[in-house]
Amino acid sequence: MVAATRVGYAVTAIDAFADKQTVELAEATIVVKYDSDGFDADALLAAIGKLDARQYLGFVYGSGFEAQPALLRKVAEIIPLIGNSAATVSAVKAPDVFFAVLENCNIRYPELYDTLPANFESAAYLRKLVGGCGGAHISIADANCVLQSGNYYYQQLIDGRSVSMLFVANAHHIEVIGFNEQWLSPTEKLPFRYGGAVGNVVLSQRIQQQLVEAAEKLTIEFGLIGLNSLDVVVSGNVAYVLEINSRLSATFGLYEDNLIDIHIKACLEGALPKREHIQQANEANLRSNAHAIVYAATGLEVSTTFEWPDWVVDTFQSVKQQKTINILVGEPVCTVLSSADNANEAKRLAHTRVEKVQQLLQQNA
């Protein structure tokens, strides 16, 4: 949303959180309930149905539809999608479809299982939700795990570096935007909770080539368009593919170029930016940007007059005549941003700023 307003688009935001920055930048903000199952489908469709679709270029979406492709399909009946179709989103998030394509394309990935192997205690396996996003749905599998038919699957856990590649596609070709690293903010109950990401990371040419080749093959197989993210875990000299995020990903905000225009042109016109233009943009901005989520370490009661540092975004919107905001333990509070000459420094600064905000919140409580 910020990227769209930065280049001059008038935006109507449909959001579950309606943070202060979104409300200030959007022409209008519509709040729709969102929980672990995704958006309230009836409320979302009702909100979109009240809009005059003729006044909008289309519907640009982020996370939240992976487990609800049928809802995305209904949205497309009201307003044009600017992004991958509901069928594509459904296909890349269906383990039996996606990993079969990886197998046919000779792309390495962590092995999948319907039942835990007999020797599972000698290795590590994960239990994942089909269509899950954000890492909160992932847990370590044990003998007490029971798969709900069709909703969960087991996957081999590979220790390594969590990396992603942001790229733009037109169903036939891709152009790389940047390489990123993700990290976790784990708790006992949520060991794979998303922590943050940093852009412009340094990867070996061998790993970069594996990511590019995988993205090119998957783009053709699934007809990917617009901005997408390929998530992998790097172990040694091998990049094991975990998933494709076939929509605007969290790493989208790590790059300051006019990515929303690039996304729109790729989706609506099939046009890709010239590689030299992306290279020139990257060379002009050699710094690395990072973001990190601040979660409430304890239950908090924060004053609505709390003064946030200028490197904090996604803060709560003050409510008239409400003096404090109650935040439950484990809930996201805000996002910190950082920028530095390289990815390691940007990541380190992001972690420092998370700690600083935690201290400020405790002092204010």
Read off the pLDDT of residues 352-364 as tens digits, 9 standing for 90 and up: 999 999 999 988 7
112 and 31 share a domain?
A: no
Residues 347 and 256 in one domain: no
**Of 115 and 225, which is predicted with more confidence?**
225
The pLDDT value recorded for residue 277 is 67
Domain enclosing residue 266, as ranges: 90-286
Position with higher pLDDT, 276 vs 213:
213
Same domain, 149 and 199: yes
Residues 213 and 306 in one domain: no
Which residue is associated with the tokens 């640009």? 60
Which range, of 55-59, 91-95, 135-139, 299-303, averages the lowest pLDDT? 135-139
Same domain flag for 125 and 258 = yes
Tell me which of 48, 81, 114 is where a domain ends. 81
pTM: 0.92
Residue 233 has pLDDT above 80, yes or no: yes
281 and 350 inside one domain? no
Of 81, 111, 135, the residue at which a domain comes to its end is 81
Task: Give percent above pLDDT 90 in the chain.
Answer: 65
Q: Residue 61 carries which side chain, given as an amino acid letter?
A: Y
Q: Which of 262, 286, 310 is the last residue of a domain?
A: 286
* Better-scored residue on pLDDT, 43 or 37: 43
Residue 143: pLDDT above 80? Answer: no
Bin 131: left if φ > 0, else alpha if -120 < ψ < 50, else beta.
left
Q: Are residues 70 and 167 in the same domain?
A: no
Average pLDDT over residues 35-46: 88
Distance CA 346, CA 325 (A): 30
Kindly tell me the burial class for residue 15, based on how many C-beta atoms sit within 10 Å of its own C-beta (0-12, 13-18, 19 or more).
Answer: middle
pLDDT of residue 174: 97
Q: Within this chain, do residues 128 and 71 fall inside the same structural domain, yes or no?
A: no
Enter the tokens of residue 332.
């996201």
| 97 shares its domain with 76 | no
Q: Buried b / exposed e across 113-142, counting CB within 10 Å, b at 16+?
A: eeebeeebeeeebbbbbbbbbebbbbbebe
Identify the band that residue 7 occupies on the pLDDT scale cut at 50, 70 and 90.
confident
pLDDT band at 178 (very low <50, low <70, confident <90, very high): very high
Q: Do 152 and 299 belong to one domain?
A: no
Q: Strand pairing partners for 311? A: none
Phi, psi at 314, each rounded to 5°? 60, 35
CA-angle at 230, arms to 209 and 203, nearest 5°: 40
116 and 188 both lie in a single domain: yes
**Average confidence score pLDDT of the chain:** 90
pLDDT tens-digit map of 114-133: 887 777 665 688 888 887 77
Choice among 114-118, 166-170, 322-326 with the minimum mean pLDDT = 114-118
The CATH number given to whatever domain includes residue 227 is: 3.30.470.20
- pLDDT confidence band for 285 (50 / 70 / 90): low
- Give the mean model confidence (pLDDT) for residues 69-75: 95
Question: What pLDDT was estimated at residue 303?
Answer: 85
pLDDT score of 317 more than 70: yes
Q: What per-residue confidence (pLDDT) applies to 280? A: 66
Cβ burial, residue 108 (10 Å; 0-12/13-18/19+)? middle
Tell me how many domains the chain contains: 3
Residues 32 and 107 in one domain: no
